[in-house]
Structure 1
Amino acid sequence: MATCPRIQPMACKSLASHPFRNSSPISSISNASMFSRATYPTASTVHRSKTFACRSVSIASSNFTWEDAVHISLPESFQDDPSDLTGYFEKVKLCNRGSDMQSEFLPFVIDDQIVGHVHHGFAYHLKKYANVFTFPRDDSVRVGACLSLHESLKTPEDRTHAVGNVVKCLGEEIIPGVRNEMYPVTSSFGAPVFFSLERAAAPYFGIKVYGVQMNGYVEKDGKKFLWIAKRSQMKQTFPGMLDELVAGGLPEGISCGENLMKECEEEAGIPRSISNKAIPVGAVSYSDIKDYSYKRDVLFCYDLKLPESFIPKNQDGEVEGFRLLPVTNVANVIRRTQLFKHNCALVIIEFLFRHGYIKPECLGYLELLQSLKSGTCF
């Protein structure tokens, strides 16, 4: 039986207790009888007619248009309160689900270090690979029980090869969206790499995953504007939703800064002569549990002030288009809808704090600020 005496219980901050959890997403709306929580525009909504102020918009899944997004962003489209942080709290909650499911996961341990968490249902699929994984002797999830790699797998290369073969054997039915992109498996950022794992498998093994996300902004006449991307409908995840100007996961063997410049060029056509001026400004984190998936992500945030004359142009086919919107309008979209890819909303909320758009006078200011680091990834 595999036992792990050094394992400590997982810590996870819960957002369930924040004072806005049962509040309506809009404090005051014109013709409120036309609105309800069910008719609030989201990217996952089934096809039905939406009424925004005096205008009807039809949204089918993520097939909203730029015209829809721009209209929703206008201050005059709703008579709501920009200082109401409820809509921001809801976006944080979307990235931090399932804390009550933690007991259903086994710690994944290598060399006495917890590197991930595996749901006992997913562990069932791994049991046929006894030459790769070591399991508790029964199916219960007990204190001290853990999943580990077979003692014969000593080197990172051996572990990468063995686990990679398991991922291939499990196939798309168990682990969908294989990208042939490898992520390092570590106990913490910058720690030694135990082995490398296919990106699509990362949430099923509950490993810590890191990424870079950049807010590209422009200043005109003393006002700030953000470049916003709309993801391609062909993307495997969150197709057609709104996104930062540049974002990407951090694969093995590349630094955050170098990866950001690479993503800038691929996603927005930003040359290195401009992207090398991007400023690292912090990070957000979250822990999201759903079914067998346990996402423990840290996103390193960057700001890049762009020339007014610069127009982004996608190079890799992953972006449908770009729009330059006033920061206040982007904030309205995040507060009012779920049109943004969930984790991107967190990065923009963090931008709103740093640039003074969310003020200490707003009820819940400190709690929202702290909630942007709800993950256990540091």
Structure 2
Amino acid sequence: MSYLDRIRICHQWRPERYRPFLLEGDTQPLGWVGHDFAARLKDFPSAFTVTEAAVLLPARYGDFESRSAVLEEALRELHAAGEIPKWRGEDYGIGRRWGAPPLFRMERGAVPLFGVLAYGVHVNGYVMGDDGPRLWVGKRAAHKAVAPGKLDHLVAGGQPLGLSLMENVVKEAQEEASVPADLARLARPVGALRYLCEREEGLRNDVVFCFDLELPGDFQPTPNDDEVESFALWSMDQVLERIRESDDFKFNVALVNLHFALRHGMLNPDREPAYQAIVEGLQGRFED
């Protein structure tokens, strides 16, 4: 498997298997619902209008609170029936773009079933050495609902409603790696990546905000919850080899690590024939 293969995996979905999820009267989809799940939503006519062409939130729900309330009622019933496997107890704000006012809130566990735009923070914690940066690599706990046992960043997490990105970085850094708040706040925003792909949990329509956090050489991250099993400090050669030769890294973590490698000059256009394709692929552009 090549670097480009890892990127392509994050941009694979079959549009014919889905219908758009819209506010009634709009033409711009908020997300995409699989046909089987759309058929199930017909059982909730107070919350959804389901046609062969689309799933609609009725126009009579004209504000954030009314849309959120009717959705929550339906989603709780679906969870009770086992059709939303994990209820996270965390709401995402759903809208058209980052920075636009959210149109409604949605339980995180339901988000991939509607293919709506979701956000997350991914923090590459690194230590600078004579041979360049070395990355702290986390191993996800085996009981995680998504990507159990896969390799991860120092810190990463979905973006809940009501927090700024930096507030979320600080929260996740403390919870996952015992990073003190003052140190976590030194994380620098360095870009964002977007992808749309089919995963076991549903359709992932995500934007991940990337952060770099340079850490002191004597800092040792320690798991502070049950989401991370362990941390290890890897050279970038080790990271890149594992991305290239295996699928051990969580699918979106591989993208962010490649983004890091490009920015820090660990992937070189004189030595990497696919350099331009990797850069364009991280932007969601591929040649046939």
Above 0.5 in TM-score?
A: yes
Structure 2 residue aligned with 1:212: 121
Task: Show structure 1 runs of 5+ residues with no match.
Answer: 1-24, 26-85, 140-144
Structure 1 residue aligned with 2:82: 173
1:154 has 2:62 as partner = yes
The answer as to whether partners of 1:287 and 1:374 remain within 8 angstroms in 2 is: no
1:285 has 2:197 as partner = no
CA distance in 1, matches of 2:117, 2:184: 26
Structure 1 residues 320-331: aligned runs within 5 Å: 320-331=229-240
TM-score, scaled relative to structure 1: 0.71
CA distance in 2, matches of 1:240, 1:364: 29
* RMSD of aligned Cα (Å): 1.7
Structure 1 residue aligned with 2:101: 192
* 1:270 Cα offset (Å): 0.8
Q: Which AA in structure 1 matches 2:183?
A: I
The answer as to whether partners of 2:146 and 2:201 remain within 8 angstroms in 1 is: no
* 1:292 Cα offset (Å): 8.6
CA distance in 2, matches of 1:219, 1:161: 48
**Per-residue CA shift, 1:188-207, capped at 9, x if unaligned?**
11112111011111111110
1:107 has 2:15 as partner = no
The answer as to whether partners of 1:160 and 1:197 remain within 8 angstroms in 2 is: yes
Q: Which AA in structure 2 matches 1:212?
A: V
**Per-residue CA shift, 1:40-84, capped at 9, x if unaligned?**
xxxxxxxxxxxxxxxxxxxxxxxxxxxxxxxxxxxxxxxxxxxxx
CA distance in 1, matches of 2:126, 2:37: 42
Structure 1 residue aligned with 2:277: 367
CA distance in 2, matches of 1:170, 1:313: 37
CA distance in 1, matches of 2:275, 2:130: 28
Secondary structure of 1:321's aligned partner: strand
Structure 1 residue aligned with 2:71: 163
* 1:291 Cα offset (Å): 7.7
* 1:289 Cα offset (Å): 2.5
Structure 2 residue aligned with 1:123: 38
CA distance in 1, matches of 2:174, 2:106: 25
| Percent pairwise identity | 38
Structure 1 residues 304-323: aligned runs within 5 Å: 304-323=213-232
Task: Show structure 2 runs of 5+ residues with no match.
Answer: none
The answer as to whether partners of 2:41 and 2:50 remain within 8 angstroms in 1 is: no
TM-score, scaled relative to structure 2: 0.93
CA distance in 1, matches of 2:157, 2:218: 25
* 1:230 Cα offset (Å): 0.6
The answer as to whether partners of 2:50 and 2:56 remain within 8 angstroms in 1 is: yes
Secondary structure of 2:277's aligned partner: helix
Q: Which has the larger radius of gyration?
A: 1
CA distance in 2, matches of 1:240, 1:197: 27
Q: Which AA in structure 1 matches 2:277?
A: E
Q: Which AA in structure 1 matches 2:280?
A: Q
1:135 has 2:17 as partner = no
CA distance in 1, matches of 2:228, 2:265: 29
**Per-residue CA shift, 1:9-30, capped at 9, x if unaligned?**
xxxxxxxxxxxxxxxx3xxxxx
**Per-residue CA shift, 1:297-317, capped at 9, x if unaligned?**
111100011000100011122
